[in-house]
Amino acid sequence: MKKLQQINFREYGVVIGFIILCLVITIATPNFASYKNILNLLRQSSIIGIISAGMTFVIISGNFDISVGVVAALSGAITMKFATSGVNIIISMVIALLVCAVVGFANGFIVAKINIPSLITTMAMVSIVKGSMLMLTGGYPITENIKLLDYIGNGYILGIPFPVILFAVMVIIAYIVLTKTRFGRYVYSVGGNREASKLNGIHVDSYIIKVFIINAVLAGVAGIVLIGRMGTASPVAGDGYDMDAIASVVIGGTSVAGGSGSVLKTVIGVLMMSVINNSFNLLGVDMYFQYIFKGLIILVAVGIDSYSKKKLASR
């Protein structure tokens, strides 16, 4: 019975915590539960949510990617640069996503084939991508009113913001891939035990490369949504998105050691982070404190995960 309770807490603790958080904030700030604020919160969640869906793949595989913020910004910059140069907007978006895929491939190849840790690899990629983006834009934002982009960032379908629908679609696809396909099973296997996966005939390097490509492409999709919302592509548009995505995935219960996690729980993590940010804004809490709070949340979530694994290993 005690073991069952522990499993249930680990499985549903984040959901219970999210519900309690929403109830407390609703009591503290009645405006939080308004229809307008909920829609705004969901729209704000969508960009980080799309990135976090890709980050879930990477962390389950036992890796990290801190380049997603600059990749999102690069995607927006490329899309806007080509579109303002007379290229069809859809072709511009496809080009941007292909470039993102190349960046993801480079990250995965270096991690898998050259064996440089993912944290170091993606840290270096941040500088490479940021420098390339500054060369592309000249260091200035690119602004243009493009109808399709505006719809992607600000449109509605049946009263639901388009970015929210896109986020939901990405999550559903990610869930199916991770839970219903051989690819998903192998990603969990690679993250759980890389050597055992190799002995079982799984092409580990190939799966590591693929999860980084998926992550970069989803970051690119998020970048396109972002420029649609803002109406401009800025070289600094994705700053901080990497930490928000990692925090959301870890809060959602995905193990930083790899091998376990759920994209559906990542959604809860995304919503929890958005609720905290939103409530801080409603309460007038200084934004600098928000950064401190996010850092503490990551430390607590990782600490709980590490403690749980250590306790299970000692039995």
DSSP state string for 83-126: HTTT--HHHHHHHHHHHHHHHHHHHHHHHHHS---HHHHHHHHH
291 has pLDDT over 90: no
Give the model's pLDDT for residue 11: 60
- For residues 290 and 206, the model is more confident at 206
Give the model's pLDDT for residue 2: 46
Give the model's pLDDT for residue 129: 95
Average pLDDT (233-241) is 86
User: pLDDT grade, residue 215 (50/70/90)?
Assistant: very high
Give the model's pLDDT for residue 314: 65
Mean pLDDT, the chain, rounded, equals 88
The CA-atom distances, in angstroms, between 212 and each of 23, 44, 99 are 37, 24, 13
Give the model's pLDDT for residue 137: 87
Model pLDDT for residues 2-50, shown as the tens digit of each residue: 444 444 455 666 778 788 878 888 887 777 778 888 888 899 899 999 9
User: What three-state secondary structure class fits 253?
Assistant: coil
Please report how many Cα atoms fall inside a 13 Å half-sphere around the Cα of residue 269, on the Cβ side.
31
The CA-atom distances, in angstroms, between 115 and each of 24, 28, 110, 127, 205 are 46, 49, 6, 19, 10
Distance of CA 23 to the CA centre of its chain: 26
Evaluate if pTM is beyond 0.75. Answer: yes
CB 86 within 8 A of CB 279: no
Give the model's pLDDT for residue 4: 45
How many other β-carbons are positioned within 10 Å of the β-carbon of residue 256? Answer: 17
